[in-house]
């Protein structure tokens, strides 16, 4: 398209008493010569004065596209009093102009008018309440269906559970190892710097051991799983929602809880204890490496001290926590995924809020556990 | 528009072979598309019609053969040149393929924002025009998820028209529509072809619209994996003696026709 374009031009003339004739020239191409703006349209209409009919002469027009149709349509829309006679336009243009009017505009305007502030606050509040009810219902339903599942009567496919377990368990080994190994090492450094001042280097082993087993292994693993698995659950279910896959399940009478939520919760909860033990091992190893490398402790002494510092209660406490975290992450992911909207952006939003809800939930829950443990003297 | 409406050739495919890895879809396709025609890619479900369309619009590189657009070898051109050629194409995907996080109007406006220098008012005016053409002026601010199947298709059409394309590609335009909506869409396609002077390429297996509006086409076969007939659907219905084409056009099962032959 190297040929030069001439800018659109027009001339208005009065042919008869009530007829104005608009002569159009030049190239009317939206992408090359642009569109006429509203002011131009109004100026032309102003010049027509008391004319009742506007006709066109387009014999001198060059190339044209939608720009011309938009222009004539704007003239017509801006002056309903004026009788637009499109017969002088190129034939194709008058057809396109007619096409733009032919369809009756059924007003099924779904875009609701903006509500007043009070109504919006009220709606938000009831939405929140409904959300809370939905979460409670999901938790209740899961517990109920899990009990049914224990008797082997839930309509859950074993294949799904095994796949999900592999994804949530074996698939996460790498990142859990890295994160917990590093956290163990970092705790070792922190302890080494402080304890060296008291000549109590050996107690680094206790510090790392207790911190990992009681807190960090469980929390870090749960945070990793919230980012990895919780987000994935939400994205998966939200995409299924968008594809009407969930509607298809419901229509067939397949219970969504049994089929989608329960396998995910079961798989994650079942994998969490293993990941926790594994995380503890890597955390202790991280501490051991740092202790041996920076404090001249012998590995044997470090291990003996670790054994003395830890007891079964610490592990049991960590295990209980990690089970609760797993259930929380899986339920949050599933709930957010199931209640997501149907667009691509909704899927992204669901994944984000599942991760955020998972992480905040895990840390808040850990706080509650800490308070309980304190009260119980564990 | 004032683009020459001569019967010269806009599009030419020579010896096209399409395959996904070792899986052959179609081969030995030769056809040409006249400017201003409505060209049909016909054939039974699963014969690779949509794949042929994808190769024509540049979404899939053919395993062999050349595609000429206005005499220019499309796949031999540089990436930038291909994009430039592709900008002359408007594509309507099977289910509209609207971007789900934008309103209908934003969907139509995006190509204008990306490829033109038009200001907000100008592109809004163009968007209103395109939506009015497809009868969706009232649904400009609606999200795609709230539209019915037919409306989604028309919104996809409006988006494809955003840049006044020279060639309009439609993938199964009337699939899943009721006969009235399907007829209206056919009329609209003809109307737009006449008004815009565009060339239309449609993939379809809907007999009524094929017979009604298409004036040229090719018929792809699933078994031989090549084109077994060329021509306007209504002529093929009359003159083709290929059993598969006849069965398709007469809405019979190929097997019945053959067994009838054996008995006769």
According to the model, what pLDDT value does residue B264 have?
A: 35
Q: What is the average pLDDT score of chain A? A: 86
Q: What is the distance of C-alpha B249 from the center of its chain?
A: 20
The CA distance from B220 to B68, in Å, is: 20
Q: Is A32 helix (H, G, I), strand (E, B) or coil?
A: helix
Task: Find all residues with CB under 8 Å of A52, minimum gap 6, and list them.
Answer: A18, A19, A81, A82, A83
Number of domains in chain A: 2
Kindly tell me if the per-residue pLDDT of A153 is higher than 80: no
Q: What percent of chain B has pLDDT over 90?
A: 3
Domain shared by A31 and A153, yes or no: no
Kindly tell me if the per-residue pLDDT of A224 is higher than 50: yes
Q: For B38-93, what is each residue's pLDDT tens digit?
A: 999 988 888 888 888 888 888 888 888 888 888 888 888 888 888 888 888 888 88
According to the model, what pLDDT value does residue B260 have?
A: 43
Q: Which of A102, A130, A159 is the last residue of a domain?
A: A102
Mean pLDDT of A265-276: 94
According to the model, what pLDDT value does residue A61 have?
A: 84
For B105, B106, B168, the CA distances from B110, given in Å and listed in that order, are 9, 6, 18
Distance from CA of B21 to the nearest CA of A (A): 28
Higher pLDDT, A102 or A296: A296
Question: A with B: how many residue pairs have Cβ under 8 Å apart?
Answer: 103
CATH code, domain with A35: 3.30.750.24
Q: Which residues of B touch A (CB under 8 A)?
A: 1-3, 99-101, 115-118, 121-122, 125-126, 129-130, 132-135, 137-139, 141-146, 163-164, 188, 191-192, 194-197
Is A66's CB within 8 Å of B126's CB? yes
According to the model, what pLDDT value does residue A175 have?
A: 95
Domain shared by A269 and A151, yes or no: yes
The CA distance from B149 to B142, in Å, is: 14
Domain shared by A88 and A145, yes or no: no
**Under 8 Å between Cβ of A22 and A44:** yes
Distance from CA of B98 to the nearest CA of A (A): 10
- Closest CB to B194: pick one of A61, A92, A343: A92
- Closest CB to B122: pick one of A35, A108, A345: A35
The CA distance from B256 to B262, in Å, is: 10
Is B146's CB within 8 Å of A31's CB? no
According to the model, what pLDDT value does residue B253 have?
A: 57
Is B195's CB within 8 Å of A99's CB? yes
The CA distance from B206 to A97, in Å, is: 29
Q: Which of A57, A83, A102 is the last residue of a domain?
A: A102
User: Is residue A108 in a domain?
Assistant: no
Least confident segment among A43-52, A193-202, A266-275: A43-52
Could you identify the residue written with the tokens 């443990």?
A373
User: Is residue A134 in a domain?
Assistant: no
Question: Which chain A residues touch B164 with a CB distance below 8 Å?
Answer: 30-31, 65-66
Cα dihedral sign, B225-B230-B231-B236: negative
- Closest CB to A66: pick one of B138, B143, B164: B164
Distance from CA of A220 to the nearest CA of B (A): 34
Q: For B180-219, what is each residue's pLDDT tens digit?
A: 888 888 888 888 888 888 899 999 888 888 888 888 889 8
- Closest CB to A344: pick one of B101, B138, B195: B101
User: Is residue A201 in a domain?
Assistant: yes
For A119, A346, B130, B233, the CA distances from A73, given in Å and listed in that order, are 40, 37, 12, 37
User: Is residue A3 in a domain?
Assistant: no
The partner residues of A85 in beta bridges, in order of sequence, read A55
Kindly tell me if the per-residue pLDDT of A110 is higher than 50: no
- Closest CB to B121: pick one of A38, A99, A101: A38
Q: For A297-352, what is each residue's pLDDT tens digit?
A: 899 999 999 999 898 899 999 999 999 999 999 999 998 998 888 888 889 999 99
Structure token pair of residue B76: 């031999």
Show the domain range for A209: 139-376
The partner residues of A38 in beta bridges, in order of sequence, read none
Q: Is A147 helix (H, G, I), strand (E, B) or coil?
A: helix
Q: Which of A291, A265, A137, A146 is nearest to A209 (CA)?
A: A291
Task: Find all residues with CB under 8 Å of B166, minimum gap 6, and list them.
Answer: B3, B10, B88, B89, B198, B199
Q: Which of A102, A123, A148 is the last residue of a domain?
A: A102
């Amino acid at each position: 398209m190297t040929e030069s374009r001439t800018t659109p031009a027009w001339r208005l003339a009065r042919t008869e008493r009530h007829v104005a004739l608009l002569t159009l020239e030049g190239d009317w191409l939206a992408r090359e010569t642009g569109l006429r703006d509203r002011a131009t349209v109004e100026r032309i209409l102003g010049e027509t004065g008391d004319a009742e009919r506007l006709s066109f002469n387009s014999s001198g027009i060059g190339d044209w596209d939608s720009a011309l149709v938009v222009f004539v349509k704007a003239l017509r829309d801006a002056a309903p009093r004026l009788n637009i006679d499109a017969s002088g336009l190129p034939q194709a243009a008058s057809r396109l102009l007619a096409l733009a009017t032919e369809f009756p505009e059924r007003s099924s305007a779904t875009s609701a008018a903006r509500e007043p502030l009070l109504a919006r606050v009220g709606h938000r509040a009831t939405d929140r309440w409904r959300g809370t009810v939905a979460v409670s219902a999901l938790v209740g339903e899961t517990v109920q269906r899990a009990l049914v599942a224990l008797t082997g009567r839930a309509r859950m496919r074993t294949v799904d559970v095994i796949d999900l377990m592999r994804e949530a368990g074996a698939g996460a080994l790498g990142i859990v190892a890295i994160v917990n190994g590093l956290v163990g090492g970092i705790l070792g450094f922190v302890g080494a710097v402080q304890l060296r001042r008291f000549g109590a280097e050996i107690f680094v082993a206790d510090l790392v051991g207790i911190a990992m087993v009681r807190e960090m292994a469980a929390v870090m693993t749960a945070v990793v799983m919230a980012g990895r698995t919780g987000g994935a659950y939400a994205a998966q279910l939200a995409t299924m929602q968008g594809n009407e896959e969930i509607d298809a399940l419901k229509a067939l009478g397949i219970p969504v809880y049994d089929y989608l939520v329960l396998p995910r919760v079961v798989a994650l909860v079942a994998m969490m204890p293993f990941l926790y033990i594994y995380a503890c091992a890597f955390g202790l190893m991280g501490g051991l490496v740092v202790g041996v490398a920076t404090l001249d402790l012998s590995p044997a002494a470090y291990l003996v001290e670790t054994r003395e510092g830890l007891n079964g209660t610490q592990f049991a406490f960590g295990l209980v926590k990690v089970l609760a975290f797993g259930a929380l992450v899986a339920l949050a992911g599933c709930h957010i995924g199931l209640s997501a909207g149907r667009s691509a952006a909704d899927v992204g939003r669901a994944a984000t809020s599942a991760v955020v809800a998972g992480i905040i939930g895990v840390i808040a829950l850990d706080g509650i556990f800490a308070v309980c443990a304190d009260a119980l003297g564990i | 528009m004032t683009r020459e409406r001569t019967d010269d050739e806009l599009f030419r495919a020579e010896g096209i072979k399409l395959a996904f890895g070792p899986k052959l879809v179609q081969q030995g396709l030769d056809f040409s598309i006249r400017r201003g025609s409505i060209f049909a890619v016909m054939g039974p479900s699963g014969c690779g019609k949509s794949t042929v369309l994808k190769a024509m619009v540049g979404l899939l590189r053919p395993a062999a053969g050349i595609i000429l657009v206005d005499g220019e070898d499309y796949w031999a051109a540089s990436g930038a040149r291909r994009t430039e050629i592709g900008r002359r194409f408007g594509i309507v995907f099977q289910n509209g393929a609207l971007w789900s996080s934008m309103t209908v109007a934003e969907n139509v406006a995006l190509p204008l924002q990306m490829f033109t220098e038009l200001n907000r008012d100008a592109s809004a005016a163009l968007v209103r025009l395109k939506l009015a053409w497809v009868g969706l002026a009232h649904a400009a601010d609606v999200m795609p998820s709230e539209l019915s199947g037919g409306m989604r298709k028309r919104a996809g059409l409006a988006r494809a028209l955003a840049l006044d394309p020279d060639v309009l590609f439609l993938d199964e335009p009337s699939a899943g529509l009721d006969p009235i909506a399907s007829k209206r869409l056919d009329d609209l396609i003809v109307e737009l072809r006449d008004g815009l002077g565009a060339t239309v390429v449609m993939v379809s297996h809907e007999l009524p619209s094929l017979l009604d509006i298409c004036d040229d086409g090719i018929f792809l076969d699933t078994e031989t994996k090549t084109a077994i007939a060329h021509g306007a659907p209504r002529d093929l219905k009359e003159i083709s003696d290929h059993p598969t084409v006849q069965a398709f056009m007469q809405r019979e099962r190929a097997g019945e026709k053959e067994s009838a032959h054996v008995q006769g």
